[in-house]
Amino acid sequence: MSDVPTGGTQEPSSTAVGGEEVVPSEARTLEVVEVREGMFGVHGTGDTSGYGGLQRPVAMPAASRRPFGGWYDDVADQLERLLGEEIGSGAIESVVADRDELTLHVRRERIREVCQHLRDDPALRFELCSGISGVHFPHEIGREFHAVYHLLSMTHNRRIRLEVAVPDSDPHIESVVSVYPTADWHERETWDFFGIVFDGHPALTRILMPDDWPGHPQRKDYPLGGIPVEYKGATVPPPDERRSYS
């Protein structure tokens, strides 16, 4: 079909190719991260079931609208006051409240400023940065790499997630080491595994892989590796080449 989305965002009214509504009604836009084809992991002429023609976009939970519920609104209000701009128009692109967790999508050049507010304001006071890691969405064109920050407020006993998306062609994010010193190793790990460059990091070097390692192993296009194993005449292919269910 011609109108199959290949990535980016989609209007909420659109339906999946299978005809089923995939977007919750209150959603604004849909973040399509992947398009899945077929069903049983068989591609090409081997599939006679007809399921091989199935194409379904995979969407992450969509952005929420106010009220977000509970203390989420307090945090959002306070951040709007401190940043002097509304959510959606400036540093914070969108807010996702899903599975009892609050996610703020932050623009990459503002992440340090947002973290500074989140740490310093007594009403927010996220004093501990639990960690930073990355996620690679190769189908989300222009937003391939997401850096994910998990902050914890011990004062208010709350958790919050910040997500920063950057394109593959220019994977630069402002470092938050000056706000959260613990981010040092976490940013190095994210650089090591995803190739996201944290500008302003004191020493952005590889941390878990050897210094001269080529490539960034957690990217989706980086192969898992492995060799076929022969056992009693049969050969078992390496895990990434085995048949998988799509």
Partner 1 sequence: MSTTDTGTDPYAQSQDTTSGPVFTVTGQDWDEVVAGVDPDASERIVVNMGPQHPSTHGVLRLILEIEGESVTEARCGIGYLHTGIEKNMEYRNWTQGVTFCTRMDYLSPMYNEAVYALGVEKLLGITDQIPEKADVLRVMMMEVNRISSHLVAIATGGMEIGALTVMTVGFRERELCLDLFELFSGLRMNSAYIRPGGVSQDVPEGGLDAVDRFVSLMRKRLPELAALCNQNPIFKGRLKDVGYLDLAGCLALGVTGPALRSTGYDWDLRKKQPYCGYETYDFDVITRDEPDAYGRFRIRLDEMDESLRIIEQCVTRLRALEGAPVMVADKKIAWPSQLAIGPDGQGNSLEHIRHIMGESMEALIHHFKLVTEGFRVPAGQVYTSVESPRGELACHLVSDGGTRPYRAHFRDPSFSNLQATAAMSEGGMLADVIVAIASIDPVMGGVDR
**Closer of 174 and 187 to partner 1 (Cβ):** 187
Site membership for partner 1, residue 58 (CB under 8 A): yes
d(CA 195, CA 215): 8
Figure out which of the listed residues 141, 208, 229, 236 binds partner 1, where binding follows CB under 8 A: 208
Distance of CA 105 to the CA centre of its chain: 10
Interacting positions 109-138 with partner 1 (CB under 8 A): 127-131, 133, 135-136
Select the span of 46-54, 76-84, 99-107, 168-176 touching partner 1 (CB under 8 A).
99-107
Strand partners, 106: 92
Cβ contacts of 130 within 8 Å, gap of 6 or more: 150, 151, 152, 159
> Rounded to the nearest whole angstrom, what is the least distance from the CB of residue 222 to partner 1 in the complex?
8
Which two three-digit tokens encode residue 176? Answer: 């938050």
Half-sphere exposure of 241 (CA within 13 A, CB side): 10
Q: Interface with partner 1 by CB under 8 A: which residues?
A: 33-34, 36, 58-61, 98-99, 101, 103, 127-131, 133, 135-136, 148, 150, 152, 154, 157, 159, 161, 180-182, 184-186, 189, 206-210, 217-218, 224, 239-240, 244-246
